[in-house]
Amino acid sequence: MPLVIICGLPCSGKTSRTKELKEYLCENEPSGSVHVVTDDPATLKNDVYSDSQKEKISRGNLKSAVQRLLNKDDFVILDSLNYIKGFRYELYCVTKSCQTPHCVVLCDISPEKAAKLNEERDKPEQYDSTIFEGLVKRFEEPISTNRWDSPLITVQSEDTLPCKNICDAVLKRKPPPPNMSTQCQPLSSTNFLYELDKRTQEIVNDIMSNQKLSVIGDSISITGATDTIQFNRNFSLAELQRYRRQFITYSKMHPVDDANKISNMFVQYLNKSLQ
């Protein structure tokens, strides 16, 4: 199910909006659970955002949690600053890999108002003024024309959260199609390359031995394949080995989920190539 990425300046109301959205989803979308991913409450914000390495680890933990929770039935809401566009792009790639839609909700607030709200917080919950100013300067506001920020729903601090619009934005659109960079290769077993090399070589050997006993126009049966080789001329070993290397190169990039398909696929490839 969809991923909703909440983002905004510090003290912009992200956690409050997350709670509102979760309540709405639990009442109106009962088909699955609603998971909220947020920063580790055991870590101090000032400690994390004052150390780039700790901040990087924190983002990695958030991304890993999102990846674990995304499935076909549940909503996932990510409640964090999410202020780096590169991180939002990584999350977009995760949704592509999981073939689920996403949307970005921007809690829009002026830096001045956010600073005032920060000062009104209890001391343990406050951002240090230097860290606060740094986060404001580094905030990369989402842009609706960026595919990783779209659809983008902007909410002002005084607005009512448009929960139905958020649901429509993710439930009424198709997930982004996966691409090669986000797809796991469907290797059926650890010995796929061994089987690929072995079976293609066996077929080449079958053709070379059987064509000596065949006449032009015959069909050559291949062990392990239901398809046959169309013997329309004599084939040289060098020619067959060249096509075998080409097929192996292609198959390494597009492995099949069942090694038993290799023989038929190679026979079909040869019939097209040897015409």
For the chain, where do the domains classified as CATH 3.40.50.300 start and end? 3-182
219 phi, psi to nearest 5 deg = -110, 130
At 67 the three-state DSSP class reads helix
Is the overall model pTM greater than 0.75, yes or no?
no
What confidence tens digit (pLDDT) does each residue in 218-248 have?
A: 888 888 888 888 888 888 999 999 999 999 8
How sure is the predictor about 181, in pLDDT bands with cuts at 50, 70 and 90?
Answer: very low
**pLDDT for 136:** 96
**Architecture of the CATH domain 3-182:** 3-Layer(aba) Sandwich (3.40)
Most confidently predicted of 125-139, 238-252, 258-272: 125-139
Element (H, E) at 131: helix 129-138
- Nearest-angstrom CA–CA distance, 87 and 59: 8
Residues 180/189, Cβ–Cβ less than 8 Å: no
